[in-house]
A and B are shown apart, each in its own frame.
Chain A
């Protein structure tokens, strides 16, 4: 119960501090994009518009107001759920993001699971073989893996499994001809609750390569942190003391070593998973996966300001949510922070 209260307190505090951060982030986004050399007013009009028409449009869009006023107006609209209208797609940004975000979340969450599984297993293995020749080899391999970022992994896996062996699909979320249930937008979830097994299987097949690419790319750093935190923990007296009490090595590892070593690993995960969320962008492009990343890149290519701002902000919110979740988890596992 006390634990619940502390976590609730942390959540409230984190959400409260997230608000000023988001405000500053939005201001930053706004400013960066205002330096843009292109004129959004001209962009939203047909190319043969006259100077007067452009000028009228500028006034209408509020582009002639001082910067802080423009920001104020934008922020005000934001509070009312209106991030603006896409110049290029001629659609509300909110609905564009709403239709692409679930795909990205699905990708990110599964990739995080993959990364966690690979990271923990690899870290334990690295620790297990410590001091042997296998460790030297594995350590070298982990640096090799560390040198392949997610976008190279995506291409690499695509080449091998998609192009050479042709065993897995590598474009989009679903092969043509499959029925697409639409309840929440989360394809896997939707097809599961509507009982659409063929769609579910097909969607899963499409997820394998992107999720593997993202997850594997992230796992080496987790492996290495887990390994070195375990090594650190094993330097501590309580491990030796547990041995002298006659506990088995397995028990010492799981109950004493791992429980301590997981803490630094977890705090790294908080940061890394934030990075991972950004990494989805590239993976989406490479696998033509219809998520927010593709939307964002399309917007960038077309200098579609409202989308860039909206999607940018959404990415930040996602990172903040991840870090709050990881922090709560950290609090649950670390009594030093929880009880004083």
Chain B
């Protein structure tokens, strides 16, 4: 029985090892992003043309000034990685919140009201889904032009359907619950019914999806900057580092490995958090799957 007492045990979701792992990873990334100027050993854009493509410290010819080596312009790889976290996380948080708001709004409207509203929204989503996301975001970036704001906007415009599709079916399930009818009979307005009766039920799924979407946003940003359609070259971004390193794949393979690992690490953090949340929050999960 839940008691109103101090020292309540941790909520179930926080006890999950997956959630904890995810939160730790995200915390590390956030610290890197916020304190980048203090953590980075060098200016990420400073070119040291005398020491280009130096290997990481532990390899032969490594330089302690550049712990992870330098790229083809002699920029410090570690510093660029740390500063790259800023772009990645900014995009991850803002784009996923934006996509969530747009997607959740349409999902709730469609699922709750049904009828032609649902039909229209369903068709719009269908049109969106007939674009492969990578292609649509590239085309949007062509239309919008590069820059951080536009990257976020493009991702929101592409990925709101992810939320809409999944949440809509959840809303429809909840909509059929008798407690929603009961709320209407008692005199709740539509708005109140949605926010007080349905939204609390879709919230767990919504949070889970958001966590996964942050991972997706990081990947999309990396892809866009990889093909040079994201932030300008003056800002360090992981995708850009990959594109640069690909030119010197034989001389400095580590320059390629470092950003790959950074992306993987971040995406993994969000995915494992999402999976942990799904297991602990999703009421539809079967018991067997939860244990």
Contacts and interface: CB of A to CB of B under 8 A. Distances in A.
A308 B264 CA distance: 30
A143 interface: yes
Interface string A269-280: 001001101110
A281 B138 CA distance: 11
B253 A278 contact: no
A155 B242 contact: yes
B242 A25 contact: no
Contacts of A271: 129
A312 B135 contact: yes
A320 B286 CA distance: 33
A182 interface: no
A228 B227 contact: no
B105 interface: no
A204 interface: no
Given A274-B129, A297-B227, A143 B275 contact: yes
Given A21-B126, A33-B142, A235-B288, A163 B253 contact: yes
A4 to B, nearest CB: 26
A29 B130 CA distance: 12
B143 A36 contact: yes
B132 A147 contact: no
A278 B223 CA distance: 12
A278 B142 contact: no
A159 interface: yes
Interface string B208-243: 000000010001001100111100000000000010
Contact of B133 (A28, A155, A278): A278
B143 A33 contact: yes
A297 B131 CA distance: 16
Nearest to B141: A300
B130 A319 contact: yes
B64 interface: no
Interface string B247-275: 00110010011001001100110011001
B286 A308 contact: no
A74 interface: no
Interface string B75-95: 000000000000000000000
Contacts of B260: 152, 155-156
A285 interface: yes
A148 B264 contact: yes
Contacts of A303: 142
A113 interface: no
A153 to B, nearest CB: 10
A238 to B, nearest CB: 16
A312 B144 contact: no
A36 B142 contact: yes
Contacts of A152: 260, 263-264
B185 interface: no
A164 B253 CA distance: 9
B134 interface: yes
B160 to A, nearest CB: 15
A37 interface: yes
Contacts of A163: 249-250, 253
A318 to B, nearest CB: 8
B139 A33 contact: yes
B264 A235 contact: no
A231 B289 contact: yes
A118 interface: no
A232 interface: yes
Nearest to B257: A159
A158 to B, nearest CB: 8
A235 B286 contact: yes
Interface string A10-30: 000000000001101100110
B135 A285 contact: no
Interface string A116-152: 0000000000000011000000000001101111011
Given A147-B215, A285-B227, A274 B130 contact: yes
B287 to A, nearest CB: 9
A21 B123 CA distance: 8
A35 interface: yes
A300 B223 contact: no
A22 B126 CA distance: 11
A316 B131 contact: yes
Given A231-B286, A300-B227, 10 more contacts: A21-B123, A29-B139, A33-B143, A143-B271, A228-B286, A281-B134, A281-B138, A308-B139, A319-B130, A323-B130
15 contacts: A21-B123, A22-B130, A25-B131, A36-B143, A37-B145, A131-B288, A158-B249, A274-B132, A278-B133, A282-B226, A296-B138, A297-B227, A301-B228, A319-B129, A323-B130
